[in-house]
Amino acid sequence: MDLTNLLYGLLHPDPTHSGFFLLHQTLCGALAAAGFGVLFNIGFRSLPWCAVSGALALAVRTYCLGLGWNLEAASFAAALIVGAAVQVLRARADISQNALDVTGCIPMVPGSFAAKAILGMFALTTASPADASGTLITAVQYALRVTFTIGAIGTGLAIPTLLLRVRVSR
């Protein structure tokens, strides 16, 4: 495969062409995690680790979605693997665990679903909403997906931490 084909595949990823699509999602996950790392005031030296964390999260989630898993299950698997990897990596990265695993999972937080769910609720409050029952069901579906996906991410991140952390003796 020459460079032109590789670039074309990356710029026009086809979900049915799993290799390019996986690479595209992974790179976007890395960029989003590193960008949010700057927003969270992570130092430049540690940003590559955030990018790795985000790339890993999106790679696992995209792979699992490709296997036919739903978004919630795929997000849970990705968060679980990122949480476990961060437990191994954090000593080397010299960065707090919270920063590394949460930043890596930020690209998976379903912010667009949350916005669509609330906009759907707003639409229901107009004087005469068109297709009120359809709008309500769609809004509730988005709200449930947001809740379950955030729950899946939080649980996936918490399990390795709860299993592997040694608590300070009181």
Partner 1 sequence: MDNIESLIPEDSGSAPALEPIAMVALDAGRMLMEAGASANGVDEIVAQFARGLGADRVDLRIGYASLAVTIGIGPNGITRMREVGHLGVNQRLDQELWHLAARVARGGLTPQQTRAELTRLATKTPRHSAWVMAVAVGLACAAFGRLLGVDWLGTGPVFLAAGIGQLVRRELLTRHVNVFICASLVSFLSSLLGGLGAHWAHSNTISTAMIASILLLVPGIPSVNAQNDILEGHPTLGSARAVTVAVILIFAAAGLWLGQVLLARSFGI
Q: Which residues of the chain form contacts with partner 1 (CB under 8 A)?
A: 11, 24-25, 27-29, 31-43, 58, 94-96, 98-99, 102-103, 105-107, 109, 111-112, 114-116, 118-119, 122, 150-151, 153-155, 157-158, 161-162, 167-168, 170
Alpha-carbon gap, residue 10 to 169, rounded angstroms: 51
Q: Do residues 79 and 155 touch, judged by C-beta distance below 8 A? A: yes
Structure token digits, residue 89? 């990596």
Nearer to partner 1, 28 or 68 (CB): 28
Q: Which residues contact 90 (CB under 8 A, 6 or more apart)?
A: 96, 97, 100
Nearer to partner 1, 33 or 84 (CB): 33
Q: Give the E-state strand segments of the chain in sequence order.
A: none
Minimum distance, C-beta of residue 39 to partner 1, in the bound complex (Å): 6
Nearer to partner 1, 24 or 145 (CB): 24
CA dihedral 62, 64, 68, 71 (to 10 degrees): -70
Minimum distance, C-beta of residue 35 to partner 1, in the bound complex (Å): 3
- Provide the 3-class DSSP secondary structure of residue 58: helix
Minimum distance, C-beta of residue 169 to partner 1, in the bound complex (Å): 9
Minimum distance, C-beta of residue 33 to partner 1, in the bound complex (Å): 8
Minimum distance, C-beta of residue 20 to partner 1, in the bound complex (Å): 13
Nearer to partner 1, 88 or 162 (CB): 162
| DSSP secondary structure of 140-154 | HHHHHHHHHHHHHHH
Nearer to partner 1, 77 or 153 (CB): 153
Q: Do residues 122 and 83 touch, judged by C-beta distance below 8 A? A: no
